Amino acid sequence: MKRRDIIKYLSVTPLAGMVNLTDPSGQPSAKPTKKPKRDIIKELGIRTFINAAGTYTFMTASLMDEDVMDTIEYTGEHFMIMSEVQDKAGAKIAALCHAESAMVTAGCWSALVLGTAAVLTGKDKLKIGKLPDLSGFEKTEVIVQKAHNESYTHALTNAGIIPVVVETADELEKAISSKTAMLFFLNYQAPNGQIKHEEFVAISKKHGIPCMIDIAADIPPVENLWKYNDMGFDLVCVSGGKAMRGPQSAGILMGKKDLIDAARLNAPPNGGNIGRGMKVNKEEVLGMYVALEKYIKKDHAAEWKSWEDRVQVIVKEVSKIKGVKTEVTVPPIANHVPTLKISWTDQIKATPQEVHKKLQDGTPSIEVMTSPTTVNLTVFMLKPGEDKLVAKRLKEVLSSFA
């Protein structure tokens, strides 16, 4: 499964119940929710579901950790100067991630736009006021590998750049010119590109050209939060609302101090710039810092073991159905968590999409991902006890088609 896959059609079904359990591995607990003064979910008829799919944006990514929610609630009661909030939180984030500097952005896409803008304008306020109009700019091109030239390159073109596509290191060397502003690396496509990380960084250093990497959904492993800073990338962009369980609308841009300073000038609270609409409120900035800090300190080995155990709960149950086959894989980069693929023989008269629809329409409603031949699911967004509910429903649904 590629990160940030999109499903076009989602049905609407009733609100699902919750399980009252605790979880020692660091997963968000499903303790009884305080009854709200106004149940806006029920009032608007919005479907909630058990998330056995993953941290996809269209599914509202992850659920924020309790400490993050507490931070948001507490800081929402105080006025602050936004620049100081970014200064103080950014310094802590940078130290945790081995970067010279950092800022919280409006998601990873915003980090990509602001990082590109920083490279193009530096601290020149006249240039900052012109983006995405690059007329009069000497450097207007960003070089990207063919395998990396996906829809995310559009974040860079938002700043006005022209992408130059190459395949080999030799082509990259020849493509570099006085117009080259930056080199861009899309991390989850690293296995499909001919130029690997270290060589890519070395070429950028050789020519004195900044290089930026997108690692949006590439946490875990936790080490990726500092790996690419240590490797020498000048800018690193990451989503905050996925495995780290920060605010969904938050991300992090980190790297060289001069570039982060320039990105800050291209971003709110400053006006007259390309990033003015990419606002991140104080609650999100501070919530993102708390989420990052807590994620780094987590017992990741225990968390991984809990994921494997939950997958096996589902495997054990669905394997009781004749004709069902299961396979556990771990994607090499993006969404690097145990992923269960379920397939079946023609003894079960249903397509994966039909099984998916029945899971959506049931009680509790459950979301998974599908391919033409498999139902694919992860457990790292499940609340405690939901693995058993997913196993039970999968067995019921598959059996109903037998």
* Phi, psi values for residue 186, rounded to 5°: -95, 105
pLDDT in tens, 158-184: 999 999 999 999 999 999 999 999 999
User: Both ends of the chain: CA-CA distance in Å?
Assistant: 27
Is the pLDDT at 143 greater than 50, yes or no?
A: yes
pLDDT, average across residues 208-216? 98
Give the pLDDT confidence score for residue 36 in this predicted structure: 82
Give the pLDDT confidence score for residue 88 in this predicted structure: 98
Q: How is the beta sheet containing 162-166 ordered, strand by strand? A: 101-105, 251-255, 235-239, 211-214, 180-186, 141-145, 162-166
d(CA 108, CA 257): 18
DSSP state of 371: -
Is the pLDDT at 129 greater than 90, yes or no?
A: yes
pLDDT in tens, 363-380: 999 999 999 999 999 999
Give the pLDDT confidence score for residue 85 in this predicted structure: 98
Give the pLDDT confidence score for residue 82 in this predicted structure: 97
Q: Which two tokens stand for residue 204?
A: 């950028």
Q: Which two tokens stand for residue 45?
A: 């008829």
CA distance to 201, 280, 382, per residue, from 70 (Å): 40, 18, 21
Is the pLDDT at 17 greater than 90, yes or no?
A: no
pLDDT, average across residues 333-339? 95
Is the pLDDT at 51 greater than 60, yes or no?
A: yes
- The H or E element spanning position 212 is strand 211-214
d(CA 197, CA 188): 11
Is the pLDDT at 26 greater than 70, yes or no?
A: no
- Tell me the pTM: 0.90
Is the pLDDT at 311 greater than 70, yes or no?
A: yes
Strand runs (DSSP E) across 330-370, as ranges? 339-344, 366-367, 369-370
In whole numbers, what is the pLDDT of the chain averaged over residues?
Answer: 92
**Residue the block writes with tokens 């499964």:** 1
Give the pLDDT confidence score for residue 35 in this predicted structure: 78
Give the pLDDT confidence score for residue 27 in this predicted structure: 53
More confident residue, 22 or 186: 186
Give the pLDDT confidence score for residue 30 in this predicted structure: 47
Out of 12-26, 91-105, 176-190, 293-307, least confident range = 12-26
Is the pLDDT at 144 greater than 60, yes or no?
A: yes
pLDDT, average across residues 293-312? 97
**If pLDDT is split at 50, 70 and 90, which confidence band does 258 have?**
very high
pLDDT, average across residues 327-353? 96
pLDDT in tens, 224-252: 999 999 999 999 999 999 999 999 999 99
Q: Which residues contact 240 (CB under 8 A, 6 or more apart)?
A: 104, 107, 108, 246, 247, 248, 250, 251, 252, 288, 291, 292
Give the pLDDT confidence score for residue 6 in this predicted structure: 34
Is the pLDDT at 189 greater than 90, yes or no?
A: yes
CA-derived radius of gyration, the chain = 22
Q: Calculate helix-pair angle for 386-400, 300-318, nearest 10 degrees.
A: 30
